[in-house]
Structure 1
Amino acid sequence: MDRPASDLAPALEPFSQSAALSLGVELELQLVNTHHYDLAPYSDEMLRLMARHQLPGSVVPEMTSSMIEISTGVCHSASEVLGELSQIRDALVQCADKLNIAVVGGGTHPFQQWHEQRIYDKPRFRQLSDLYGYLSKQFTIFGQHVHIGCPTADEALLMLHRMSRYIPHFIALSASSPYVQAQDTQFDSARLNSVFAFPMSGRAPFTLSWDHFGEFFSKTTRTGVVKSMKDFYWDIRPKPEYGTIEIRVFDTPLTVERAAALAGFVQALASWFLHEQPFMPQEDDYMVYTYNRFQACRFGLDAVYVEPSTGAHMPLREHILQTFRQIGEHARRLGAGPGVQMLGEDVELGSNDARWLRLKQRRERLLAEVVRQGALRFRGQS
């Protein structure tokens, strides 16, 4: 007799132990040709060439064949993240030059047509394509994911819900996707609109108990809607196999320096949470969550931020600078000070990568030229 479906539901794997405040960074990157700077389906060729290099972390394919994902190993500081990302970046550039293509950051390619993209030939990607249809090709978008180490599962959930208040900060600081299919979307981060189309996107359920989270996971998997934690496209999700939480709302920056600075900001923020316990998250925090996230996607650093505890409205830019002051000592102690200072200077100027892209397009009036200059910026030449 067949076993009931409830007996076949996968179990939530145990939460691995990791060092508090350890870091890992993933970057999804664009592969473009060097003729008209549209996306180019060269991920297989890039992976073969990259396999010849001894590098930290990993280089893997992504959903469509014009994408590639790089990741660091386990790091303990923003400078270590920068060192590893720079090493991988230099190898990527060398391999791309051999193929007469280029590698570019940014959350979206400014003028690619989603229907022209090819799903990478990997079982999970084929399964996702079968399930989600055209959304899979529209998922040719590029994000940075930051993992932060948490010693225990309950501490991870506490960290996750504290970090959720700062989702607008992460979005505005990393925003680099104003253009979609050759149109200025009027969003600083249009990439996240594609993520929100997926049914399991949004935010994690509010619980500070891993046992309760396990009950939620069991109920969800019994329905057959999800099979593993990978099927949740939440803004922040636990990664029990790594002993981390993974923040997923960052657009891929145009430079590895900015990627490392954003990781340092996350680490300093986490240190502030751990050592000063500035607030206890509540379910009611999420009453303003969707509004704050929309504001940051739409307006970037010019967004309005609603403080979850008081309901007070203030410019997001001011709240980011206030946060930088609060975490300043932690950033200095962890070696993240220079990166946070760089981000702070940009905030004061109202500058992020979305603004850089728009300024270039205003000057050049040709998105292909903007992508070309973005490729030079990624390799450290602009």
Structure 2
Amino acid sequence: MGESTGGEPYERVLAEAYERFEEADDFTVSVEEEFALLDPETLDLVNRFEDVQEAVRGTELEPNLAGELIASEAEVKTGKQASFVDVPSTLAERRAQLAALVEPLGLTLGATGTHPWASWRDQRIIDTPHYRRNDEILRYVVWRNNTFGIHTHVAIRGADRAVRVVSALRNWLPELLAVSASSPFHEGVDTGLHSARTQVFTRFFPRCGVPDAFDSWNAYADYVRFLYRTGSIDRPTQIWWSVRPHLSFPTVELRFCDAQPDLGEAQSLTALMVSLTARCARALDEGEPLPEHPHRLIEENTWRAIRNGLSGELIDLERGDVLPARARVERLVEWVLPVAEEIGAAPWLRLPERNAAERQIARRAEGADFAEIYAEQVRATVPATG
């Protein structure tokens, strides 16, 4: 294994994480969706997570509900799924369960990457040890992070292999972001961006955004040791990269994408993220060359995705030319398709005619105000029944 279990607590963390990766079952999946808790009349954010937490006790949703930083937010998890096949239906079930839970509390749900007008000053950090610690170490940085995302965890067998999959996934983070962009409006401002969430989160938090590439578990573990020894972190989840090996689970976690108002688009985005992760693992297994672009070049594409999403252009970093973002994503879908078919994700690999950011921007150009546009996103998140 090559990992010491010496006296430092982080050595045990690393050793146990290594063992979990070595024993992992390939391509099990878990997905996390973050939702805004809203007043159904005004659509303002409301600090009611503790009420939701109390209401969930004893229900089927309880083990899959979590707080996520602010009291006006709730996260639901699919839980570990043996394969992708069950993920789309479980995403739908969890949304329905959460919507049914909050409706009697006089709440509804939103799922864009940012709330269009809410102020960070009005949001309260939830009172848990984890988030109290984040508040202590980050202060203004964490106060400003009123954002909502969708994360995938894909189990990868082998610690070296998992680290190399993370390094490969760096290259396509901008394509994933372009597909997912859903946050053009923030704090009462038409930002001119397609993903204001990404600009807020990745530019505020330390150890965030596009990571460096690592070629082995030992190289990554040495970096984690450095952070612990220098007092930069006191737990591994304080590495907030947009893609990371999760040391508490034997998974590669993709955490770059905006939340999705539309369930179908959440399902298709998840299919793309999981298929891409599995495709990178298969490429490593088969000796297929994978790109390792410098951080500075991936960041160029990241800015393009933040600014213009699917409506803009992305650089082909292999050839140095520029293509429409949609064309870049279509090429990516073609590349992952064989593995998507293998894991049961292929039927869900669909690109929307316009993503959530494009739809909102178009409505703004037609003269709709923030309240009208956000109401449309909320109706997409929690469709009327009956």
Both structures adopt the same fold (TM-score exceeding 0.5): yes
CA distance 1:313–1:366, shift in 2 (3 Å): closer
Aligned to 2:103: 97
Q: Do the aligned residues in 1 keep the contact of 2:152 with 2:274 (CA within 8 Å)? A: no
Taking the aligned partners of 1:205 and 1:45, their CA distance within structure 2 comes to: 40
Q: Which residue of 1 aligns with 2:46?
A: 40
Work out whether residues 9 and 221 of structure 1, in 8 Å CA contact, stay in contact via their aligned partners in 2. Answer: no
2:91 corresponds in structure 1 to 85
Of 166-175 and 125-134, more deviation after overlay is shown by: 125-134
* 1:200, distance to aligned residue in structure 2 (A): 1.7
The equivalent of 2:3 in structure 1 is none
SS of the aligned residue for 2:270 comes to helix
Deviation at 1:260, TM superposition (A): 2.1
Residue of structure 2 aligned with 1:244, choices 248, 251, 255:
251
Match of 2:31 among 25, 28, 31: 25
% same residue: 24
Quick one: distance in 2 between partners of 1:86 and 1:47? 20
Q: Which amino acid aligns with 2:93?
A: Q
Letter in structure 1 aligned against 2:378: A
Tell me how far 1:212 sits from its aligned partner. Answer: 1.8
Could you list the per-position Cα deviations for residues 145-180 of structure 1 after superposition, in whole angstroms to 9, with x for gaps in the alignment?
111110011110111111111101110111111001
Q: What's 1:127 paired with?
A: 133
SS in 1 for 2:70: coil
* In 2, Cα distance between equivalents of 1:48 and 1:357: 34
Residue identity matched to 1:167: L
8 A Cα contact 1:78 1:260, kept in partner: no
* CA distance in structure 1 between the aligned counterparts of 2:61 and 2:367, rounded to whole angstroms: 37
- CA shift for structure 1 position 97: 1.3
Contact 1:9 1:218 (C-alpha < 8 Å) held by counterparts: no
How many angstroms does 1:84 deviate by? 1.6
Distance 2:179 2:291 in 1: 23
Are 1:239 and 1:245, in contact at CA under 8 Å, matched by a contact in 2? yes
Query: For residues 201 and 276 of structure 1, do their structure 2 counterparts lie closer, same or farther at Cα, with a shift above 3 Å needed?
Result: closer
- 1:301 matched to 2:318: no
Match of 2:267 among 244, 260, 264: 260
Aligned partner of 1:167 in structure 2 is 173
Give the conservation status (yes or no) of the 8 Å contact 1:23–1:147: yes
Residue deviations 1:16-39, cap 9 Å, x none? 132212211111110010221110
- SS at 1:254's partner residue? coil
Task: Kindly state the Cα deviation for residue 79 of structure 1 after the two structures are TM-superposed.
Answer: 4.2
- Does residue 1:217 correspond to 2:224, yes or no? yes
Query: CA distance change for structure 1 residues 285 and 310 in 2, over 3 Å: closer, same or farther?
Result: farther
What is the CA distance between 1:330 and its match in structure 2?
Answer: 2.5
TM-score by length of 2: 0.90
**Alignment RMSD:** 2.1
2: CA distance between counterparts of 1:56 and 1:95?
10
CA contact (8 A) 2:108 2:382 kept: no
What does the per-residue CA deviation read over 1:98-139, in whole Å, with 9 as the maximum and x for residues that have no partner? Answer: 011101111000100111111111122122222222222211
| Number of the residue aligned with 1:52 | 58
Mapping for residues 199-238 of structure 1, pairs under 5 Å: 199-238=206-245
- 3-state DSSP of counterpart to 1:86: helix
**3-state SS of the aligned residue for 1:10?**
helix
Q: 1:142, 1:191 within 8 Å by CA — same for their partners in 2?
A: yes
Matched, 1:325 2:328: no
Q: How many residues align?
A: 370
Equivalent residue, structure 2, for 1:3: none
**What's the TM-score once normalised by structure 1's chain length?**
0.90
Counterpart in the other structure of 2:160: 154
Cα displacement string for residues 2-52 of structure 1 (whole angstroms, at most 9, x for unaligned residues): xxxx96562224231322122111111100102211101111111121223
Correspondent of 1:280 among 285, 290, 293: 290
**How many angstroms does 1:269 deviate by?**
2.0
Deviations 1:336-363 (A, max 9, x none): 22221x22xx2xx4x1111122234445
Deviation for aligned residue 1:57: 5.5
Q: Structure 1 pair 61/364, CA: closer, same or farther in 2 (3 Å)?
A: farther
SS of residue paired to 1:124: helix
Residue type matched to 2:301 in 1?
A: N
Q: Distance in 1 between matches of 2:251 and 2:307?
A: 29
Cα distance, 1:381 vs structure 2: 4.0
Q: Report deviation, 1:95.
A: 1.8
**Cα deviation per residue 1:80-99 (whole Å; 9 max; x = unaligned)?**
11222222211211122101
Question: Is contact 1:295-1:305 (8 Å) kept?
Answer: yes
CA contact (8 A) 1:78 1:261 kept: no
Moved more, 327-336 or 82-91: 327-336
Between the aligned partners of 2:366 and 2:373, the Cα distance in structure 1 is: 9
Unaligned runs of at least 5 residues, structure 2:
1-5
The secondary structure found in structure 2 opposite 1:375 is helix
Name the CA distance, whole Å, in 2 between partners of 1:131 and 1:355.
36
- Distance in 1 separating the partners of 2:274 and 2:326: 20
CA distance in 2, matches of 1:24, 1:56: 16
In structure 1, how many angstroms separate the alpha carbons of the residues matched to 2:368 and 2:300?
Answer: 33
Instruction: Name the SS of the counterpart of 1:380 in structure 2.
Output: coil
Cα distance change, pair 286–120 in 1 and its aligned pair in 2 (3 A): same
The equivalent of 2:189 in structure 1 is 183
> Hey, what's the Cα distance between the residues in 1 that align with 2:263 and 2:84?
11
Could you tell me how far 1:371 is from its partner in structure 2?
2.5
Cα distance in 2 for partners of 1:211, 1:30 equals 39
Deviation at 1:287, TM superposition (A): 3.6
Residues 1:367 and 2:373 are matched in the alignment: no
Is 1:10 the counterpart of 2:10? The answer is yes
* Distance in structure 2 (CA, Å) of the matches to 1:313 and 1:361: 28
